[in-house]
Amino acid sequence: MTDTLTIVFALYPRVTHLDFTGPHQVLCRLPGAVTHLASVDGGALTFDGVTFGDLERLADIAACDVLCVPGGFGTMDAMGDARFMGEIRRLAEGARYVTSVCTGSLILGAAGLLKGRRAACHWAWRNQLALFGAIPDGGRVVRDGNVFTGGGVTAGIDFALTLAAEIAGNGFAQGLQLSLEYAPAPPFDAGRPETAPPEVLARVRAMLDATGATRREAVEAAALAM
């Protein structure tokens, strides 16, 4: 293990910011951590009304120890961006850990990095992983070799603590959890389709299904292009 731990968060338009800001808050505290927020063109990106500036260019990062790909509504466009996908493949090739949060695993799949591997994803899109030869797994955090994937959005914090334990040990990760006071106690038991009230699940499914066909077409196109 080198003294420096280089962590890259690969960003793109319409990414979900909690997918990477949650893990970033955890992983930036690892010993020797140097984090990079980077996109294809660098500069600034705005998502959900929040602007992240001074992003690096992915092409300017020679290599990394940890590659993290978040998800979001821009996932499908990102999969169709040859420059972005090329950088994902290049950085993943030399990374010690290849990781994702939410639908970021679809990007890993489209890059050919999940064939035969178990992987997590947001519950609404998890089954689409199979189109890339991956094995969809309903776990909140799933590890298969050096690939760590988190489920939907908030699972990114759980994923990051799991990876922190892998890198720095359980005691260090537990200290991080305590320092961040990460002790989830949600007001509703509605965070998974299995526990959400039927009427809530139906409403959310209807909302997601409004873009479902377009998303599946994009995933199928990316799978055919592999």
Catalytic site residues? 102
Whole-angstrom Cα distance, residue 104 to residue 120? 10
Tokens 């991080």 appear where? 176
Whole-angstrom Cα distance, residue 110 to residue 4? 29
Residue 192 tokens, joined? 């998974």
The alpha-helical segments, DSSP class H, found in 62-115 are: 75-79, 82-94, 104-110
| DSSP bridge pairs for 35 | 7
Tokens 């908030």 appear where? 154
Whole-angstrom Cα distance, residue 195 to residue 186? 13
| DSSP bridge pairs for 33 | 5
